[in-house]
Amino acid sequence: MTNHVKRYHLIFLLVSLLAVACSTTKSIVIEVPNKAKGELPERIQSLLIVNRTLDDTYSNPDKDSLQNIFFAKGFNVDTVIHDRQAVDTMLKALGDLLFESGRYDVVIPKERFLPHRKNAFFSENLGWEEAAQLCKTFETDAVLSVDLYQAQVIAKYNRESYYNPIDNSFFTAAEAHMSIVYEALFKIYDPSEEKIITREFLRDTLVWEDYAETARDLFSKFTPVKQGLTEASIALALDFSEIISPNWQRQQRMIFTKGDDKLEEAGLLIDRGDWEGATRLWEDLASGSVSKTTKSKAKLNLAVAAELQGDIDKAIAWGLDSYNTAFHQLTYDYLEYLNRRKKELDKQ
**Segment (H or E) for 150:** strand 142-164
Residue 273 has pLDDT above 60, yes or no: yes
Domain 46-244 falls in which CATH fold?
Double Stranded RNA Binding Domain (3.30.160)
Q: How is domain 3-35+252-347 classified at the architecture level of CATH?
A: Alpha Horseshoe (1.25)
Are the C-beta atoms of residues 66 and 225 closer than 8 Å to each other?
A: yes
Whole-number Å distance between alpha carbons of 313 and 302: 12
Q: What is the reported pLDDT for 160?
A: 79
Provide the pLDDT confidence category of residue 346 given band limits of 50, 70 and 90. confident
- Give the count of beta carbons closer than 10 Å to the beta carbon of residue 220: 9
Crossing angle (nearest 10°) for helices 275-288 and 261-271: 160
Whole-number Å distance between alpha carbons of 240 and 199: 11
Q: Taking the model in full, what pTM does it have?
A: 0.70
Pairing of strands 195-212, 169-190: antiparallel
Range of lowest pLDDT (4-8, 36-40, 257-261, 332-336):
4-8
Residue 210 has pLDDT above 90, yes or no: yes
Are the C-beta atoms of residues 107 and 6 closer than 8 Å to each other?
A: no
Whole-number Å distance between alpha carbons of 10 and 150: 38
> What is the percentage of the chain residues whose pLDDT exceeds 90?
70
Range of lowest pLDDT (197-211, 229-243, 257-271):
257-271
Distance from CA of residue 224 to its chain's centroid? 27
Are the C-beta atoms of residues 326 and 300 closer than 8 Å to each other?
A: no
Structural domain spans, the chain: 3-35+252-347, 46-244
Cβ neighbours of residue 101 under 8 Å, at least 6 residues apart?
A: 241, 245, 246
Q: What amino acid occupies position 133? A: Q
Provide the pLDDT confidence category of residue 24 given band limits of 50, 70 and 90. confident
Average pLDDT for 218-227: 96
Q: What is the reported pLDDT for 89?
A: 96
Write out pLDDT tens, residues 77-99.
999 999 999 999 999 999 999 99
Phi then psi for residue 282, to 5 deg, are -65, -40
Q: What amino acid occupies position 76? A: N
